[in-house]
Structure 1
Amino acid sequence: MDKSAEKKKESATATSCDAYFETVQSRKKLPRSLQESLTAAFAKIPVSTFPQVPGGKIIDISADTSIADAVKILSESNIMSAPVTNPDTAVNSSDWRERYLGIIDYSAVILWVLESAEVAAFALSATSATAAGVGAGAVGAIGAVALGATGPAAVAGLAVAAVGAAVAGGVAAEKGMGKDAPTAASHLGDDFYKVILEEEPFKSTKVREVVKSFRSTPFLPVATDSTMLTVMLLLSKYRMRNVPVIEPGKPSMKNFITQSAIIKGLEGCRGRDWFDSIAAHPISDLGLPFMSRDQLISINSSELILEAFKRMKDHKIGGLPVVEGSNKKIVGNISMRDIRYLLLKPELFSNFRNLTVKDFIKTIASISQEVGKVMPAITCKVESTLGDVIHNLASKMVHRIYVVTGKEDEVVGVITLRDVISCFIFEPANYFDDYFGFSAKELLKK
């Protein structure tokens, strides 16, 4: 991506953030004086006072770790993301900027898998060209260019592997074969996993390559003397999922603050006057959910599971309600972290070409004792209070709660951790000048 394109993307992101928060602020009905008091209070609380991650140890992942092993670490540690460390950093280095390369999370893995599937589909659609004399390497190059995929060597390798798997498995190029991930899975069938997970170079693809390719979770740290208002704004208005905490001049992170940790901290404030005065409000008083029912993105239980992950990728969201019927009765939930089941237990999903969301959920439930507890969709009613929502999010350790109405539990909206955090604070004028100044200076030292 050239510099002009990067600037346009950054501008679009900033506009999106501003539009989101303007909507949040305009729909709130809390007394302005209360919100100002809370904002001022959080602006005085230093980040250093926030509780450490559970166990006091930050789990990180080396850049040389394979994607499969990284997913296993995230799954076994029951975390959504982890900082990526540079194994080439000098042992005696005291600079955190040399130690950390970025953050790996399930969203980056989804992007990697789906982009890989799309390139595989393109390669298959070009198989006839290969038979006419165009080499498989050329097909890989064409695929990389056509799809704008990053990491051309890896992309070319996948295209070659896809064509090889197709020929070996007797999969012929068919007219109208698409370039999207679900079509790729459908036409590759059981060979999908052989291509994506078992064939080189993808079997040994490293975290380093994915972190460089997909910057969906930027590494933007705050200092230990920053304020909790800064962290809360980054996790709400500026749409970060986690905030690394560093001590300038020190090699290792001091803390790793997530949206979930903030919600758990708010839940711990139950019983205090300022919290209870806000928590007692019905969610409708706060404009929650911040969307109309027509804007809700969902997935029908009869659709392909890969389409669910693709929809999350396309809309840049972390989860989808699984619905049935014309009234969109909620019957389950799919989140980006569920891709770990596909990556860690591919032998259980061999019938991938016909695998629906409903069958995927049933399979997960049948193996839940082995790979982790499966949570049903967490819901609330339109008349629920903010306190009820916070309690459910914190106690169930989930990232979103679906708003339902009527006897049939028709889903009409979703409330995320980000939405809840935004209810407590607003951004004072010119507040981030100092923070972004600090961030820019730190990056320039690199």
Structure 2
Amino acid sequence: MESPPGSARSSPEAEVGMQVEDLWDIQEPQLTPSEKLNSCFESMPVTSFPQAPSSQVFEIPSNSSLADAVEILSKNRILSAPVRNIEAPEDASWLDRYIGIVEFAGITVWLLHQSEMAASGRAARTPNVGHVTDKITAKLSNIKLGCDNSETQNPLPEAADFMGGTFLETLTTSEFYKKTKVQDISGTFRWAPFLALQKSDSFLTMLLLLSKYRMKSLPVVDLGEGKIDNIITQSAVVHMLAECVGFHWFENWGTRKLYELGLPSNINRIIKVSEDDSVLKAFQLMRKRRIGGVPVVDKSGKKAIGNISIRDVQYLLTTPEMYKGYRSITAKVFTRSIKSYIDTHEDASPRFQGVLTCNRENTIKDIILKLDAVKVQRIYVVDNEENLEGVVTLRDIISRLVHEPNHYFGDFFDGVVPLPENSRV
């Protein structure tokens, strides 16, 4: 893939690339290219990173209902937001002002977990929810699934059966969904800690947190105001890299082939779901393996026919009408329903609807440009016969850009990440 001719040098991201280029040129000659990049990024404060759109830098009050939070995230087309503790005093420090970052995926996965518990006849008790979860079994077990539950049948349907369109429609109109507060689910599935950057922190710190330490987004806090000034995501970093094509430092790193960088690291060990598996299984795998997506493979188990990302869980709550009439939802039905919905709704969030692939001979530059062009977070590596070999993610790319020096973080994490009780990050 050729570099875009005359890559936009006037963009804020390209200006970052120019700063790196200036620093690159004055590095000690005895340093390796990797050491040079580390030194460059350590010299740059995160305030140099382009500002996120104002619509993405906002807070969700801790007393918002799950339904309200879903509406806010969906309306602004973002996947997560910091949760502001409404009980914190006006002069509170940022550590006391925020209680975590709630993700769209976290709300959905938590609700699906409650459904699984209801399917087995017991409510899942979550800290802080109290009497609300005591009522969930009766609430969810009474949902009509369109199947005969007579005494000759199993009185408790399989968890996958709860993924029918009737269930989703009922769930999103239930008082349980409307009354449970965002603060009630803190400390549960995919509730991210509030780990913030200060303006004096470096690009290197930011890049390491987004890669090695598996953060998906990082708020940048203004200590004087005690409020969020910017939010930096993995996707924003990859877009910045795409705008830096052509710079010497980028070409030195980006023209290396995947296999030269040890990618994909999971070759022939890819986690996947079959087209006939319940979509619930896909989200269970993502939750269990702490990954952001899985390919949907054909009956041979070798070729990808679709992709399900953790961000796709939003469709389960925002558009349950897509599945009305389905007793259960398979991975194949799920991907087709999303495509059909997007094709027929002009106001639907844009989404790449194919399966993005590459091979091990592609360069890291090729991969960055492909991912940035369609705004997805993973690309599947295939062999010459299109059989799946592995996956490369945004985190993989960033992790090959920098490395962590010995004892780099020191006591950085002490007291900075107030993990909620029973947190599953």
Same fold (TM over 0.5): yes
Change (3 A) 1:320 1:32: farther
- After superposition, the C-alpha distances for 1:197-255 in whole angstroms (9 at most, x for unaligned) are 23332332222222343454111112110111111111111111111111224231111
Is residue 2:68 matched to residue 1:69? yes
Partners of 2:142 and 2:328 in 1: how far apart? 23
Whether 1:316 and 2:314 are equivalent positions in the alignment is no
Measured at CA, do residues 199 and 291 of structure 1 come closer, stay the same or move farther in structure 2, by a change above 3 Å? Answer: same
Sequence identity, in percent? 35
Q: Matches of 2:328 and 2:415 in 1, distance apart?
A: 51
Higher share of residues assigned helix: 1
2:303 to 299, 318, 329: 329
State the SS of the aligned residue for 1:254.
strand
Aligned 1:41-440 pairs, distance under 5 A: 41-55=40-54, 58-90=57-89, 92-93=90-91, 95-123=93-121, 143-144=122-123, 149-150=126-127, 151-165=129-143, 171-172=149-150, 181-185=159-163, 192-193=167-168, 196-214=171-189, 216-293=191-268, 295-326=269-300, 328-368=302-342, 369=345, 370-375=347-352, 376-407=354-385, 409-437=386-414, 439=416
Distance 1:153 1:172, change over 3 A: farther
Q: What letter corresponds to residue 79 of structure 2 in structure 1?
A: M
- C-alpha displacement of 1:117: 1.2
Give deviations 1:314-339, integer Å, cap 9, x for gaps. Answer: 22111111111325211111111112
Classify the secondary structure of the residue corresponding to 1:70.
helix
Structure 2 counterpart of 1:201, which letter? Answer: F
Structure 2 distance, partners of 1:165, 1:310, is 22
CA distance in structure 2 between the aligned counterparts of 1:309 and 1:155, rounded to whole angstroms: 22
The two structures, once aligned, show a CA RMSD in angstroms of 2.9
**How many Å apart are 1:108 and its aligned residue?**
1.0
Contact 1:45 1:227 in 2 (8 A): yes
- Tell me which amino acid in the other structure corresponds to 2:255: A
Contact 1:236 1:421 in 2 (8 A): yes
Instruction: Compute the displacement of 1:184 (Å).
Output: 4.1
Q: Name the structure 2 match of 1:135.
A: none
Contact residue 292 and residue 309 of structure 2 kept, 8 A: yes
Q: 1:173 to 1:85 in 2, by over 3 A?
A: farther
Higher deviation after alignment, 268-277 or 321-330: 321-330
Change (3 A) 1:225 1:121: same
- Paired with 1:71 and 1:50, the residues of 2 have a C-alpha distance of 28
Q: Is the Cα contact below 8 Å between 1:119 and 1:155 reproduced in 2?
A: no
CA–CA separation in structure 2 for the residues paired with 1:73 and 1:269: 33
Query: C-alpha displacement at 1:38, in angstroms?
Result: 0.9
Task: State the Cα distance separating 1:172 from its structure 2 match.
Answer: 4.2
Q: Residue 148 of structure 1: CA displacement?
A: 6.3
* Gap regions ≥5 residues in structure 1: 1-30, 124-142
Alignment partners' CA distance in 1, 2:146 and 2:338 = 31
Rounded Cα–Cα distance in structure 1 between residues aligned with 2:48 and 2:401: 19
Instruction: Give the number of aligned pairs.
Output: 386
- CA drift of 1:45 comes to 0.8
When normalised by structure 1's length, the TM-score is 0.79
Distance 1:287 1:428 in 2: 20
Q: Which residue of 2 aligns with 1:129?
A: none
- The aligned runs of 1:12-31 (5 Å cut-off) are none
Shift of 1:165: 3.7
Displacement of 1:304: 1.7
Deviations 1:31-74 (A, max 9, x none): 98111111111111111111111248613222232223322332
Q: Is the 8 A contact 1:95 1:251 kept in 2?
A: yes
User: Could you say which residue in structure 2 is the equivalent of 1:130?
Assistant: none
- The answer to whether the 8 A contact 2:118-2:137 is kept is yes
TM-score normalised to structure 2 length: 0.82
Change in CA separation of 1:208 and 1:180 when aligned onto 2, cut-off 3 Å: farther
Does the residue aligned with 1:382 lie in a helix, a strand or coil?
A: coil
